[in-house]
Structure 1
Amino acid sequence: MNADLSIEQKAPPLSNFVPLAIIGALFFIFGFVTWQNGALIPYLKMVCQLTDTQAIMVAFAFYVAYTVMALPMAAVLERTGFKNGMALGLLILVGGFLLYMPAAYYQQFSVFLIAQFVIGTGLTILQTAANPYVVKIGPEKSAAVRIMFMGLMNKGAGVIAPLAFTAIVLGDFASLSSASLAAMPALEQSETITALSHGLIYPYLGMAVVFSILAWLLKMSPLPELPLEQESQQAQNSGQADKTSILQFPALVLGAMTLFAYVGAEVIAGDTIGLFASNLGVANASSLTSYTMAFMLIGYGLGIALIPRLVSQGVALVASAVLGLLLSLLVVFSDPASQIVSSTLWGWAGIPLLPDTITFIALLGFANALVWPAVWPLALAGLGKFTARGSALLIMGICGGAIVPLIYGLLSDASNGQDAYWVMLPLYAFILYYALLGHKKRDW
């Protein structure tokens, strides 16, 4: 992609502030909705009395929507444009939130899963539109930095969401875990489960109202469309005229596979930390996703400071993959009874300590931070008129968040939660391959 095709080239730099602010608000929404799953999984395990594998289906139903609905949503974007498509995505989220009310009232796990799929569908169209928007709105070499600013919004919301969920939905039951619930007498257990499930109704009704207003505000906003037709003409002039399918772009296809691996790793780090901690009997397990998100924020901050001034997007991707491999090994081999690592990192600040294994899972957030921002500009380079569909293919890679955690759940039920983290090693190995070789391929 040539820098002269960006929106930045068509107007003064300050004109980018408003669209970036609007997209930043959307990324906050992505994060708030997505990372509630980290709290929902241990919560629904208690409310619906689920196994680990069944509880992971909460993430599966959410992320599988990205695969099933990505190409249909790309077709919608081609008809409606990016702005109207994003407003539609917000309204689809509203429909998913409303489904949570009967699901919670009747404690019907199947309805919860349908609601998760609907919410995932809404986020699919939002993500398919918003990510290429951030890439194309300025120079390619700084695209990762723009995505990292969006990531700060996304993961900042990811820190807030589990804490808000724990405070608003769980309330007095915040310290409850699967282990403590199972130890209750039958009558007390039944009453506790009913109180827990009903606590979900009004918060999701409130979210439905707020997101309806946000959809109207987005529709009325001054968000411009992307000049993709001009870029397509430039792509033809540079020898890309023979391309007839997105599958003819190896860096794009391999990028989608990389995002499959990455999102699988990210969801395991963010969503299973509470599940594993709850099984260990750690208090406030539903809020522990916030630790993973906090380390991702630190990673974003470091990336913004270093890219592209001192480190290229490709080098950052290599470093992330290597760190992910090392931390995954530490998760598997660390001692859940020890708290040395958290004591060293934040014990001095009075923050509650965590078992070393849980701390290393949280630290995976730091390793994951730069992967998404680095892959998108590398994979979308030179797509031109194929940008919407190329973005949809990358979004389909998010289904890694459905499939890989399910594999983790099966391994956890078959052996134990800690050994199940072996599944992380091949994921980071593929990310390393893309960082070193895959993103450079221009022909099969």
Structure 2
Amino acid sequence: MQVTNQMGEVHEVPTEKGQGPNYVLPFILITSLFFLWGMAHSLDGILIPHLKKACQLNNRQSTLIDTAIYLAYFLMAIPAGMIIKKIGYKNSIITGLLVFAAGAFLFVPAANSRDYNMFLIGLFIIGCGLTVLETSANPYAAILGPAESSSFRLNLAASFNGLAAAVGPFLGGIFILSGVNHSPEQMAAMPDAERIAYLTGEAAAVKLPYIILGTILVLVAVLFYFMHLPSMKPDHTEVEVKPGFFSVLKYRHLSWAVVAQFFYVGAQVCVTSFFIRIAQKEAGLDEKTAAFYFGIYGALFMIGRFLGTFFLKYVKDYVLLSIYAVLSAILCAVAIYGSGIYVIYALGAIGFFMSIMFPTIFSLGLVGLKSNTETGSSWLVMSIVGGAILPYGMGTLIDMNHDDIQSGYIIPLVCFLVILYFGVFGHKVKKAA
């Protein structure tokens, strides 16, 4: 039996004893969102080397692409939680999709003017839309069924985020990257008209992909508008006093989850932001071939998500997280001290082992929060600001070491050690006195 509330959401009510609601279709719809925001993030790894070339940037400036999109997560996390409470999951999802689309469409005037600041504004708007989507979809997928299988559901949905991580670099390599690179000396020797035409053409390459992406987002928003989603509210058998936004951090496992998520997102963005550049410089690959290997990294990330979802049926989530953190740290060391194509193999393998980290940390952080789930989710989404801060630090370190990209990978190595601590100790549910 379905009861519709004033926000257009549907409460599922069992019609017979022992009969529960069917959440298959809502789960499929929510899973599609994981794919869409995965596409946005997978294209960031293409945009960084591409706009570095088109807008003539250094490494530190190019990482402002990450800063713009992930800073939005930090600034919008609290408002996103308020939006969900005010207008419900369904309307929040539609809002996030439309804001996401607006940022994508802004790439057209940014490319026309080759204005890097306008690109950053578009990415910030995209980040705001993604924040609302993720703040809505992650806890929604977690509570869309039995609590004991929340990690499984989140990893299953996030597997399609991994699919986007595989598809995005391939599409970006085909439609955005030209494969044409000129040294600073060659650029300086070009006549002004030829140089401007080259840079303008490079900037214009982003227009069609982002127009298509924005159009798809609007169509999906229309689909959600006409669909009914169950309004999921966790049942509580006892009276619970709900702490304030900061008081919820008394749950120590949530606090550690926020720290671990900060370093995880920072590590992931660091690895992907400089993947193409390190493939070009250390493995001697051209731009399009480097994008192909970046797609392989995404494919391994996707495979890791699906296999990780399977492994979680037999291995405790915190145990698998700890094992993967150790292996990722070892592979980071290979990327720092290795040479040639083996550096790229190591980074690809990191993609496999990072695959389950975000949803696993997220679900471990929400354990036992009950009516504080939305607040805890906002904190975990805010921690994504690690993707804004740590890559900027990595870019600065690389510039300080005269464009030695390998030296920058010490930052994700440290990140994986922090995640290891969370997997071994920090995840344990314990509320401070």
SS for the counterpart of 1:15 is: coil
For the pair 1:435 / 2:423, whether they are aligned, the reply is yes
CA distance in 2, matches of 1:182, 1:421: 29
Distance 1:99 1:361 in 2: 32
Residue pair 1:61, 1:113 contacting (<8 A) in 2 also: yes
Note if 1:162 corresponds to 2:150.
no
In terms of fraction of residues, the more helix-rich structure is 1
- Which one of the candidate residues 281, 285, 301 is aligned to 1:282? 285
Map of 1:107-118 to 2, 5 A cutoff? 107-118=114-125
Between stretches 401-410 and 198-207, larger displacement belongs to 198-207
Residues 203-246 of structure 1 show CA distances to partners (whole Å, capped at 9, x for unaligned) of 32232222112111112112111113x2xx33x45xx5374432
1:291 maps to 2:296 = yes
Give the TM-score normalised by structure 1: 0.87
Aligned match for 2:27, one of 14, 20, 42: 20
Please, which of 302, 327, 332 is the counterpart of residue 328 of structure 1?
A: 332
Corresponding position of 1:381: 367
1:114 is paired with a residue whose SS is helix
1:148 deviates by: 1.8
Matches within 5 A, 1:181-196: 182=186, 185-187=189-191, 188-196=194-202
Aligned twin of 2:395: 409
Q: CA deviation at 1:183?
A: 6.3
What amino acid sits opposite 1:406 in the alignment?
Answer: Y
TM-score (norm 2): 0.89
Counterpart AA for 2:385: C
Identical columns (%): 30
CA 414–380 in structure 1, closer or farther in 2 if over 3 Å, else same: same
Structure-1 separation of matches of 2:387 and 2:110: 23
**Separation in 2, partners of 1:9, 1:375:** 31
Q: Aligned residue for 1:341?
A: none
Equivalent residues of 2:167, 2:298 under 8 A apart: no
343, 357, 360: which one aligns with 1:371: 357
Deviation (angstroms), 1:9: 9.7
1:330-376 deviations in Å (ceiling 9; x for gaps): 1111013xxxxxxxxxxxxxxxxxx2112211211112012122212
Q: Secondary structure of 2:418's match?
A: helix
Structure 2 match to 1:29: 36
Closer/same/farther in 2, CA of residues 130 and 242 from structure 1, 3 Å limit: closer
Q: Distance in 2 between matches of 1:198 and 1:69?
A: 30
Q: Which whole-Å deviations, capped at 9, do the CAs of 1:365-396 have from their partners, x for residues lacking one?
A: 11201212221221111222221121111001
Cα RMSD, aligned residues only: 2.2
2:414 matches 1:418: no
Give the aligned partner of residue 266 of structure 1: 268
Greater CA deviation, 70-79 or 216-225? 216-225
Deviations 1:301-347 (A, max 9, x none): 22122212x211111111111111111111111013xxxxxxxxxxx
1:74 to 75, 81, 101: 81
SS at match of 1:367: helix
Q: What whole-Å deviation, never above 9, does each CA across 1:131-178 have from its counterpart, x for those lacking one?
A: 0011111223322221222122111111111211222233xx2x2346
1:226 maps onto 2:229 in alignment: no
Judged with a 3 Å threshold, the aligned counterparts in structure 2 of structure 1 residues 107 and 427 are, in CA distance, closer, same or farther, namely same
Distance across 1 between alignment mates of 2:292 and 2:75 = 30
**Residue number in structure 1 paired with 2:109:** 102
Which ranges in structure 1 are unaligned for 5 or more consecutive residues? 1-6, 337-354
Q: Give the deviation of 1:34 after TM superposition.
A: 1.3
For 1:33, the aligned partner's letter is A
* 1:288–1:112 Cα change, 3 Å: farther
Q: Is the 8 A contact 2:107 2:122 kept in 1?
A: yes
Distance in 1 (CA, whole Å) between partners of 2:242 and 2:132 is: 28
Of 323, 346, 352, which aligns to 1:319? Answer: 323
Alignment partners' CA distance in 1, 2:152 and 2:123: 31
Contact 2:162 2:305 in 1 (8 A): no
SS at match of 1:442: coil
Q: Distance in 1 between matches of 2:189 and 2:22?
A: 62
**SS, match of residue 81 in structure 1:** helix
Query: SS of the residue aligned with 2:315?
Result: coil
2:310 is matched with 305
Q: Quote the offset at 1:14 in angstroms.
A: 7.7
Report if the CA contact (8 A) 1:270-1:293 is conserved: no
CA contact (8 A) 2:169 2:291 kept: yes
Aligned-partner residue type, residue 318 of structure 2: G
Task: Give the total of aligned pairs.
Answer: 410
Partner of 1:249: 251
Tell me which residue corresponds to 2:97.
90
Task: Measure the CA separation in 1 of the matches of 2:62 and 2:97.
Answer: 26
1:195–1:432 Cα change, 3 Å:
same
Which residue in the other structure is 1:347 paired with? none
Shift of 1:54: 0.7
Q: 1:62 aligns with which of 65, 69, 79?
A: 69
How many angstroms apart in 2 are the aligned matches of 1:82 and 1:42?
36
SS of the residue 1:437 aligns to: helix
